[in-house]
């Protein structure tokens, strides 16, 4: 039974609106149907071999036009790794050294040999190659935030990251620093300077039945509200009750918002520095 044009549209929609012609043929769509859809304008042919709907994901369309795969921060956002909204913009692409690609000033190109294999028709790069590009594309501290988030999101153990054959010193350094403990990138943004101060900082320590974001020393708790924090009044009530119980047990609790950590980190660090100077991180 021949597959129909509506079926092809549904099939493309299930694949972000764009797919290689070879994959379409393997899925059972006749070459004559594909030619008809392209001729009618219902489907666009990109570099002859890619078939795309008008609603196709822009980053994947850019990758198809460039003969590349999305990578770096573009892949990070697609996979839900944490990073500030103002991190490196544009669509980041991975291309093989020496490959030809149409000029496009809106895209950032990373020319490198792949670290991990990918399917020949893939438009999405590998996690390992994306991390390698992040290591060279972002400042070290921000790159570490992304790597920590990737470690948790993708289930990448710290020892695995150290075994990968990274091709840059920046990537090898990041692999050695990742602990995989941050519940969000916000934690990593604070952990980096605090540990550089020589403080003992632990993440996701369970206190009174619930994990806290950071425990500095023995008694100073830092809680960080994410971008979509307190999704319900019930959750807010639980947070307040837990903070109160911690204080009753002798802990000092500092709670900061997403905006404070991302946009006023110096102010947040100043508050923590004063708490440490007052000895609030020490057991009585």
Q: What is the mean pLDDT of the chain?
A: 89
- Dihedral sign computed on CA atoms, order 268, 269, 270, 275: positive
284 part of a folded domain: no
User: Residue 227's pLDDT is what?
Assistant: 55
pLDDT at 121 over 70: yes
| 9 and 42 together in one domain | yes
| 236 and 207 together in one domain | yes
Mean of pLDDT values over 247-276: 92
pLDDT at 21 over 80: yes
Read off the pTM.
0.80
CATH number of the structural domain spanning residue 263: 3.40.960.10
User: Residue 230's pLDDT is what?
Assistant: 46
- Using one digit for the tens of pLDDT, what is the confidence trace for 258-271? 888 888 889 999 99
| 70 and 166 together in one domain | yes
Range of the domain at 22: 5-56
Q: What are the angstrom distances between the C-alpha of 47 and each of 50, 66, 104, 232?
A: 6, 9, 15, 48
DSSP code per residue over 131-187: HHHHHHHS-HHHHHHHHHHHHHHHT--HHHHHHS--SSHHHHHHHHH--S--SSHHH
User: Residue 1's pLDDT is what?
Assistant: 63
- Using one digit for the tens of pLDDT, what is the confidence trace for 25-72? 999 999 999 999 999 999 999 998 999 999 999 999 999 999 999 999
Residues in Cβ contact with 192 at an 8 Å cutoff, skipping those fewer than 6 apart: 141, 144
| 171 and 108 together in one domain | yes
| 164 and 259 together in one domain | no
Bridge-partner residues for 221, per DSSP?
215, 253
| 138 and 97 together in one domain | yes
Q: Which of 67, 63, 81 is nearest to 127 (CA)?
A: 81
| 79 and 138 together in one domain | yes
DSSP code per residue over 2-31: PPPHHHHHHHHHTTTTEEEHHHHHHTT--H
- Using one digit for the tens of pLDDT, what is the confidence trace for 177-199? 887 766 666 788 888 889 889 99
| 154 and 224 together in one domain | no
| 113 and 216 together in one domain | no
SS (H, E, C) 107-141: EEEEECCCCCCCCCCCCECCHHHHHHHHHHHCCHH
Q: How many domains does the chain have?
A: 3
User: Residue 88's pLDDT is what?
Assistant: 64
Mean of pLDDT values over 146-156: 91
| 126 and 108 together in one domain | yes
| 252 and 148 together in one domain | no
147 part of a folded domain: yes
| 169 and 220 together in one domain | no
């Amino acid at each position: 039974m021949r597959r129909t044009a509506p079926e092809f549209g549904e099939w493309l929609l299930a694949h972000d609106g764009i797919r290689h012609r070879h994959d379409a043929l393997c899925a059972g769509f006749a070459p004559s149907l594909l030619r008809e859809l392209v001729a009618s304008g219902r489907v666009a042919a990109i570099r002859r071999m890619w078939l795309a709907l008008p609603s196709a994901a822009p980053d994947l369309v850019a990758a198809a036009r460039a003969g590349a795969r999305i990578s770096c921060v573009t892949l990070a956002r697609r996979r839900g790794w944490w990073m500030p909204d103002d991190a490196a913009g544009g669509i980041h692409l991975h291309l093989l050294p020496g490959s030809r690609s149409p000029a496009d000033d809106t895209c950032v190109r990373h020319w490198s040999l792949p670290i991990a294999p990918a399917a020949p028709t893939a438009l999405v790069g590998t996690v390992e190659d994306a991390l390698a590009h992040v290591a060279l594309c972002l400042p070290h501290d921000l790159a570490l935030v992304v790597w920590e988030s990737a470690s948790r999101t993708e289930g990448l153990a710290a020892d695995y990251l150290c075994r990968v054959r990274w091709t840059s010193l920046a990537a090898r350094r990041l692999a050695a620093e990742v602990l995989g403990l941050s519940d969000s990138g916000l934690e990593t943004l604070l952990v980096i300077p605090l540990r550089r101060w020589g403080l003992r900082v632990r993440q996701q320590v369970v206190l009174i039945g619930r994990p806290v974001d950071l425990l500095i020393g023995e008694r100073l708790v830092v809680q960080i509200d994410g971008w979509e924090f307190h999704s319900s009044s019930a959750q807010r009530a639980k947070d307040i009750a837990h903070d109160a119980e911690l204080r009753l047990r002798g802990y000092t609790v500092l709670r900061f918002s997403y905006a404070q950590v991302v946009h006023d980190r110096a102010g947040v660090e100043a508050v923590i520095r004063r708490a440490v100077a007052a000895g609030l991180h020490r057991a009585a």
